Amino acid sequence: MPKSNINLKKLDWKAVVTILATLLIGLVGGYAINVAYDPEKDTIEVDVESEYSIELSEEQIPAVITTENGKTETIEAPTVELIDDGEALGEGEDAQGAWHDTSSPEAYKNSTLGQCIQNAYGGQCFALANDFWQNYASRNLSSCGTGAAKGTWNCKEQNAGNEFVLIYNANEIQAGDWVVYSNGTYGHIGMALGPATNGYVALLGQNQGGQRCSKGGAATNIINKSNRDFVGAFRPKDYIKPAPTPAPQPIPATGCVEWAVKRGDTMSKIMLECENTVVYGEAMDNYAKTWFSRIMKPGQSVYQGWKTGTHYGLYADDIIDHQTE
């Protein structure tokens, strides 16, 4: 806890600038600042108490975020190597309980950026994460009895429940993941706003350099955080996009113009002999739509025949024509 005593009789502009600079650091860096006047010594005592520690990177790297339309772009944000939140967390302490939009990572960022989401210990990183759990999963996040943000991973299955999946590889981080870090006594937790890029991730969080909150801690802001002390991440299931439906496989051009149907013939047999391959599912359906009855059901495709009450598409002694156009 650094302290400085400034003699008013010898106060000069350099000292004034020093005090103002210290105050500004406190406003943006999450410090508790107390200024007291001692009439006997005729001095002002400036007491600066750090509530958390942040190690900035020597190189500032643009942060990569994912936009609402799924594209990525870069933004300027402080590049941070390590964070250790410096306040104990009250186990089971609730955040303010206000509603915040969790429909997407972008929506939650817009609902909370610059705000102080406070519990009894102020704007801690845990308070913001707990706010998300309340609004998204309708329950509290647990520090697993540790009183530390990094402790949330100790009972990860409990915290994940049915609403989250667990991510174990830092390279797989994507927007919406709540990432847990292990540095120091308390560690850190925040929400990724983009993919892991060159060992860093754009992180939405509290107590990571934002404006000071009334009860302590610091308001929600965005940093570019190193993943070197990554522990794991919680991914909301609503943020998992379904795998794209594969396009139907094209059927190669055939050499068959017609086929004389015999008892026991199947579409797969015809495809194999005419196309040199067999592909089931939608591709088989599409192939059956190109073969038409000439004698038994004139103009009816094999596929149409499958859909009738009899479910027959191929009739013995029929001649079927292959129409590719």
In terms of Cα–Cα distance, which of 106, 107, 29 is closest to 75?
106
Asked if pLDDT for residue 251 goes beyond 70, the answer is no
Residues for the chain: how many in total? 325
pLDDT bracket for residue 109 (50, 70, 90): very high
pTM: 0.64
**In what helix (H) or strand (E) does residue 129 lie, and over which residues does it extend?**
helix 125-137
Angle made by CA atoms 75, 80, 86, in degrees to the nearest 5: 130
Q: What is the pLDDT of residue 10?
A: 42
Asked if pLDDT for residue 7 goes beyond 70, the answer is no
Task: Name the token pair of 217.
Answer: 């801690």
Asked if pLDDT for residue 9 goes beyond 50, the answer is no
Q: List pLDDT tens digits, range 41-67.
A: 544 443 334 456 889 998 899 999 999
Q: List pLDDT tens digits, range 15-30.
A: 443 334 333 333 333 4
**In what helix (H) or strand (E) does residue 134 lie, and over which residues does it extend?**
helix 125-137
CA 155 – CA 144 distance, rounded (Å): 6
CB atoms within 10 A of CB 85: 31
Asked if pLDDT for residue 88 goes beyond 80, the answer is no
Task: Name the token pair of 157.
Answer: 């299955």
Domains, the chain, ordered by start: 3-50 (no CATH), 52-239 (3.90.1720), 258-322 (no CATH)
Asked if pLDDT for residue 89 goes beyond 60, the answer is no
Q: What is the pLDDT of residue 324?
A: 76
Give the burial class of 33: count Cβ atoms within 10 A of its Cβ; 0-12 exposed, 13-18 middle, 19 or more buried. Answer: middle
Whether the CB-CB separation of 131 and 112 falls below 8 Å is answered with yes
